[in-house]
Structure 1
């Protein structure tokens, strides 16, 4: 089994309070950059998370299957080079890109973004005499970089490489068997409680609605990379996220 830890089940009200604090913190941090900001992005969607688990003997456990969970994010997004802004400046950077316009055009396609997110990495499994469910709430930070290319009549495609960190806020394992039903807190479990570094990619399709707003759909794939050590179990999360979003530009 993955978990055999007893503990108090976290309160949903505490979880909602934490969500509010995270969004407020993100707003305060990014508000100071508003003059330079180009885009703000909000997304909401679903996760399907593959639990890649190995036992202490190295045996891969395959009876645990993905269970749907929530995904939401708030992000600040900016062009690497804003050619429109450079026109009004006489800096060394403006002069350089003024003399290398092809390079400036390529650089203007690339964007970077920073943000916060909330994820539920849930799973369920059925093995012989028991059923196990995992309900988790993670909060994290997000950084991404990649190009966004206009393709046709207000549509554009963005492809980004992602780097993120996720920390368990609350989580419960429910074990159901013929003789006993029990809930275990995941807060102190070595497979869930550490900060999880995640790498992956994100594909977005955007459609402009007005000169300052657009909507988009997003597909994101990422994974942790915890190594396995003999005598210790290991667990990697590999979520796939599908979401919709709103982007507000240049305000």
Structure 2
């Protein structure tokens, strides 16, 4: 089965409601390709490697979290930008990208899907646009100490994590926000979390964790955001009867 480029864009917009967000770049169709779409490839970032994999998979559209265009770019199409755009345009592939809207979707977004992967149940939100999730273990239990939660994360994400903060305190109230959300740590502390999980850590967060008695875990930007694009693209592809493949281009960051 096929659908049109515009129908697919409308379906993504209806689901993710990008107009609600003041974002760091454009959400929606970033590069226009062929009018009719039969096969979608999804991934985390519109890297050259993902575009090459989509070409090999004969995709008509790519759906990602990290697109090509961001606030503050100089606007030139040179170097890596030329390589990526040239490949998309040569093969007439549509590129759809959704940043904060993909993080925030209550069931299919990055935060919700990371919770599913980790066995966490969200019971509230915090931070700008309510992007941060606040919850607990879905089974109602707790982690006896920070190392137990860190080991659980490393097993589920197949990635080493960075952990800072109290090591022996039991952890029940868990806050999380995927990607580069280390700036949400103070809001998580104010929300009463025992631990905050995100993708990255910067210099100040280690001090906040030690001084406020709230643990901080950085599990990798890419590792924390591997699940939303898969879920959203899969959902919309099923809606139209399209073929869909998620391709994970590994990134240690």
Pair in the same fold by TM > 0.5: no
Short-chain TM bin: under 0.3
Rg larger in 1 or in 2?
1
Structure with greater proportional helix content: 2
TM-score by length of 2: 0.24
Structure with the higher strand share, 1 or 2: 1
